[in-house]
């Protein structure tokens, strides 16, 4: 295994990335807030339940945080089954359009603003996916 040479600009690039995350996510939250309010209201009035979905994800250093989205699937949907897009059979009537235009993803801007995740880089995986990868690849082959 080759040893990586330290990046002398790592501190600068990480600070620049974080500043960009803050500026872009804050601006995007302001711009998208009307759509977010309408989407949350529509989802609430569809079934009078909490319109938000929270899922534990693994962040930097293996720390767990909760990612926020607008709930688009039926409450009885199997969340382990992978399905994407507005035509997913598990999507609710309001959830389909929210998924089609990625409006259900807007609350994740709050996670970016808080520093839980970044606009740039890999999307944090959930703990169940990490366990599946470890089982498939073995602990030695899988690195956090």
pLDDT tens by residue, 86-140? 567 888 999 999 999 999 999 999 999 999 999 988 888 887 777 777 777 776 6
Tell me the pLDDT of the chain averaged across its residues.
84
- Bridge partners (DSSP) of residue 41 are none
Q: How far is CA 60 from CA 13, 44, 51, 116, 123, in A?
A: 16, 33, 27, 8, 11
The Cα 118–Cα 101 span in angstroms is 21
119: left (phi > 0), else alpha (psi -120 to 50), else beta? Answer: alpha
CB-based contacts of 17, cutoff 8 Å, min separation 6: 118, 120
CB-based contacts of 130, cutoff 8 Å, min separation 6: 58, 142
Q: pTM for the complete prediction?
A: 0.76
């Amino acid at each position: 295994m080759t040893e990586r040479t330290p990046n002398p600009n790592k501190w600068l690039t990480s600070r620049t990335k974080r500043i960009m995350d803050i500026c872009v996510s804050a601006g995007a939250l302001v711009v998208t807030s009307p759509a977010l309010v309408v989407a949350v209201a529509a989802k609430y009035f569809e079934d009078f339940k909490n319109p938000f979905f929270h899922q534990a994800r693994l962040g930097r250093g293996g720390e767990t945080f909760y990612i926020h989205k607008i709930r688009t699937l039926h409450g009885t949907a199997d969340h382990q089954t992978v399905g994407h897009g507005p035509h997913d059979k598990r999507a609710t009537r309001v959830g389909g359009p929210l998924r089609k235009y990625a409006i259900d993803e807007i609350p994740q801007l709050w996670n970016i603003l808080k520093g839980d995740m970044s606009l740039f880089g890999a999307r944090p995986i959930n703990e169940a996916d990490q366990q599946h990868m470890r089982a498939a690849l073995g602990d030695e082959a899988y690195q956090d």
